[in-house]
Amino acid sequence: MLPLELLRPIIEEINDNNTICSLLLTSKAFQHDAERRLYHTPNPARPSVLRLDYTHVAFLSTITTNPRLASLVHTYYLNDVVSYRENPLWDLAKLGLRAMVNLKVLHFRAFAGHPAAELLDGCPFQLEHLHWGSHSDEVAMAWILHQQPKLRHLYLECKLSIVQTHLSRLNRFRDASSPANLQKFFTDDCCPNLHSLGGNRMTIDLLLPGRNIRKLFWVPRLEDSHNVPVPELVAQALSRLETLSLRGYFIRWSQGTLIHHLRELRVLEIVGSSDRERQKQETEMIKRLPNLRELVISLESRTTDIHFPDIVERHQCIQQFFAECPHLHLVDFLSSWSMMNEIWYQRWTRGMQGPRWCRTLMFTRAGFRMGWCIQPLRVRPLYLSDTHNVILHKSS
């Protein structure tokens, strides 16, 4: 048998859990490395399997009785599986999260988005990435986030009514609705190392000021105040953004609220709607970003109409972008979304006649597009008569 030092790089390239399990049972020599790979990110690759409660019951039952295996868990997804205080999964999730002492990445949403922040109470891990999909957890999360100083990436949605009610009960503020008082909901030393933030308008107003956040994922909600000017401290924070992802199917952000503050923006993703007039307005907005270098035009779901489906019209639109945005270097334009885990794009680069192939890997699943890892492929340019596309793989 080859020395283990030569086999380790091969084991590191295996992404199929069934293969890793087979390797684990093959020889004791492989046990340590196979277990480390298997438990690092234990969720199956297929999204449909992620929502099968018995897979999580089996996994959590194992790690709650084996601290060594629990310490190997780095990333865990538990979305729309756990029902509030419904056992055995609720108690197993509480025990399992406390056992994952080295957990760094957590994606969680209770079934139907029920409040569930109490699951994190007493957990010893120090997260770097938290995507919290449950609602009405603002008060508990204010305390929990204070205990996570190493957090770099956060997604959270907050409601104005809950924040105001909590501040009023504290009897510290006469006007709990004023921007200055609202921004005291999260203390200044909460999440000091936050680099990217995702959420609705209330989340942005509460957490963006006073932090060195460079990447923002904005998801407007129906109850958000989209036409209300942003507070001064929020405006200052917006002016420091380098990457911004904007979405919202039923309602969108107001151009007047946002556009004048994005002076340093380098990368913009617009997750489009099917409203043709809105598409035109957002197209005009792009031209007013002085330092924009990369543009991604994407979709919220596979049922949404694609921007500028006609290739000639799309070509004209993109050439106009390049003409009016002096620093714009490339545009990734969604072309089709036919498979669950793949979105096909066309990549247009300044100075070329048409798009080329490349592969773009998502920073994370669930739309939190706070960064892209680009792997260009060596192929010929794509001209208007061609039908080739760019492929984007969403990691599961």
Burial annotation 233-260 (CB, 10 A radius, 16+ → b, else e): ebbebbebbebbbbbbbeebbbeebbbe
pTM: 0.83
Q: How many domains are contained in the chain?
A: 2
Residue 147 has pLDDT above 70, yes or no: yes
Average pLDDT, the chain: 78
Q: What is the mean pLDDT of residues 270-298?
A: 77
Q: What is the mean pLDDT of residues 315-326?
A: 85
88 domain residue, yes or no: no
Identify the burial level of 370 via C-beta atoms within 10 angstroms of its C-beta, where 0-12 means exposed, 13-18 middle and 19 or more buried.
buried
For residue 106, what pLDDT is reported? 95
179 domain residue, yes or no: no
137 domain residue, yes or no: no
Q: 131-145, 163-177, 347-361 — which is least confidently predicted?
A: 347-361
For residue 365, what pLDDT is reported? 27
103 domain residue, yes or no: no
Kindly state the tokens that stand for 62: 């194992």
d(CA 52, CA 31): 27
For 171-213, the pLDDT digits (tens) are 655 555 566 677 778 988 899 999 999 999 899 999 999 999 9
Percentage of the chain lying above the pLDDT 90 cut? 33
For 36-77, the pLDDT digits (tens) are 888 998 875 455 566 678 889 999 999 999 999 999 999 999
234 domain residue, yes or no: no
pLDDT band at 160 (very low <50, low <70, confident <90, very high): confident
Range of the domain at 2: 1-40
For 321-367, the pLDDT digits (tens) are 888 888 999 888 877 665 555 667 788 888 877 666 444 433 322 33
For residue 339, what pLDDT is reported? 55
